[in-house]
Structure 1
Amino acid sequence: MIQRFIELGEGYADIYEWLSLVEANSHRVKYILRLDTEINNRNVSSIAAVFTPSGESHFQPVYICREGLLNPEHKSTQRFDMVYKAASSLNKNIIPLSVKPSSMFPEKELYYQYLIGILRMNKYLTPLS
């Protein structure tokens, strides 16, 4: 099983692409995650969609908009309102998780390995086979 984060951007305009992916692949969306952190004294969030593996590919993508959205528990935003609406239309709850900021890691790939470990530990990713 290959599990990989696919970063669409930091959540400004690319949140619309994330929403389109989730809507077009609604049958594959397993979880919607809100990854909360603090960067430069700002409470920000990433939004991620964990998809089920497709067919026999043994590839499980996690589409993410990284750390570009204000945390909705501190300030409501139109972008998160759209995310909540999309989750509701899929009958999915948004799962909040507190994580370290990506700036704590010397490489983005290490940050994503850290997140994969957290998601596996919490059983949000399919076990390795």
Structure 2
Amino acid sequence: MIQRFIELGEGYSDLYELIEIAKANQHRLLHLMAFHTELNGRQVTSLAVVLQLTDPGKFQALYICREGIPNPNFRPNKRYDLFKQTAEELGKEIIQLSVKPSNLFHEKELYYQHLIAILRLNHYIKPLH
């Protein structure tokens, strides 16, 4: 089984692609997530779409727009509202977690491994077998 984050960007125009991925894959949609953090003194949010494992192949894609959206708990914004509207249309709740910022990690891949570990520990995605 492979679980991998696929970064689309920081959530500007690529947020529309993230939303389209969720809508086009409703049959595989597992979670919509918001990762809140503080980055360089700013409260920001990463938005993610988590899909079910492929069968065959056992690949789990986690699409993300990383740390480019203002945290809606501090500053309401239209980009988060669009994601929330999508969640409502698809009958999903947005799972919100507070996490460390990506700049604390030497490499982006280490950051994504950290997020995958958090998701596994909280049973949002399957553990490795």
How high is the TM-score relative to the length of structure 1? 0.97
**Alpha-carbon shift at residue 127 of structure 1 (Å):** 2.5
**Alpha-carbon shift at residue 128 of structure 1 (Å):** 1.9
Letter in 2 for 1:96: Q
CA–CA distance in structure 1, aligned partners of residues 27 and 85 of structure 2: 16
- Match in the other structure for 1:82: 82
- Match in the other structure for 2:10: 10
1:100-111 paired onto structure 2 within 5 Å: 100-111=100-111
- Match in the other structure for 1:47: 47
Task: Say which SS state the counterpart of residue 67 (structure 1) adopts.
Answer: strand
**Identity score, percent:** 52
- Match in the other structure for 2:62: 62
Task: Give deviations 1:46-104, integer Å, cap 9, x for gaps.
Answer: 00111001211110010000000000011111111110010011111001100000000
Task: Say which SS state the counterpart of residue 118 (structure 1) adopts.
Answer: helix
Number of residue pairs matched by the alignment: 129
* Alpha-carbon RMSD: 0.7
Task: Say which SS state the counterpart of residue 27 (structure 1) adopts.
Answer: coil
**Alpha-carbon shift at residue 120 of structure 1 (Å):** 0.3
CA–CA distance in structure 2, aligned partners of residues 27 and 15 of structure 1: 20
Runs of at least 5 residues in structure 1 that lack an aligned partner in the other structure: none
